[in-house]
Chains A and B, each alone.
Chain A
Amino acid sequence: MKNKLLIFSLLIFFQVFVLNKIIFFDFLILSPLIIILLLYKYKKNSLENLLFAFFIGLAVDIFNDSLGVYSMVSIIIVYFRNFWILKIIGEEKTSELNDLSIHELGNFQYFIFSYPVISLYFTLLVLLESSSFLNLDVLAFILLSSSLNYVFMLVFQYLFLESKLSDEWG
């Protein structure tokens, strides 16, 4: 539990103080918040999931002067994530899951589960934070940033979730 809190805090710190200021190749952004939202333990119809998402989004908003944007995106993502995982693997299997990681779901199912959620995250961010409408540039940004963050998330899970930490993550 301590490790989980520490990693969540480090990821948020990394998002707020480092990655919020960097746009890779003037085009791509890396957002560790999506890792937290996707990997946070799953419980069907859990109020705790929603409240956690709201407050962690609010924390990012406070540092980012974007009050409401990340909190709204976070609760939509967690709501959609909880709905989407049920559609993909069914209610029976979800009750057996410790967490929604690649180790539990497998490569293919994890891609089907996580990529749409990450894409939705960046679509909502673009719409709310930049007030941009969907055009080719914006679509390219969503697609490429989603892919970059998907790869980042895989690396993160292979680095941290296979270790002893994986036992404590659920």
Chain B
Amino acid sequence: MSEKHSPLDQFSINRIYEMKIGDIDVSLTNSSVMMIAVLVILNIFLIYSTRKKSVIPGRLQSLAEMSYEMIYNTTRDNLGKEGVRFFPLVYSLFMFILLCNMLGLVPYSFTVTSHIIVTFALAFGIFLLATVLGFILHGHKYLRLFLPKGVPIFLAPLLVPIEIVSYISRPISLAVRLAANMMAGHTMIKVFAGFVVALGIFGIAPFLFIVLLYILETLIAFLQAYVFAVLTCLYLSDSFHPEH
């Protein structure tokens, strides 16, 4: 088999239009084209579907309203009334990741979220926001997050490093979960697609399996976007109430 048919080939980044600012490579790649496409589709979808503002929503409008309501309720339940001002952030993140995952499932397209650097950039942004917000709201008392109330002081040397490591690991676990799920799913589909060709007439079995796998992948694409949004809410809620 040639290199072009490797299951990991779908994740390679190619420069489409080369650009440079100084020594920094800012070329337009297939990844950035996908991201732009996602944003354009997202904007067109949301503006087009809500243009009528009818009381009885049509199909598109109810799709937009459903996504809005779902994320709004999640945000309100996790962050409370004062946290609803972060709803636009959570909603944009959710829709961006959801559409990246979904468009990645289209054959010949590219999955932006399968690259850990993309998901880590998103997760690290949330991490920075949560940390800065915590210090703005609570000042130095935010550090109580690392030593919960009612813990005996002799446990502090053990517990504080553990809590710090677990705090720092938040963006990494957020990023790794999304990227690994996307990458594993797409690699698996490609591997089984290779079996279809190799097995000839018996290729019908892996072919049926791919159909099932695609359903599962669609579910995972939605689920991971939702989990990302929920965990964003949870981490932000820690900066609102660090004591528990």
A and B are partners in one complex rather than unrelated chains: no
Binding site for A on B (CB under 8 A): none
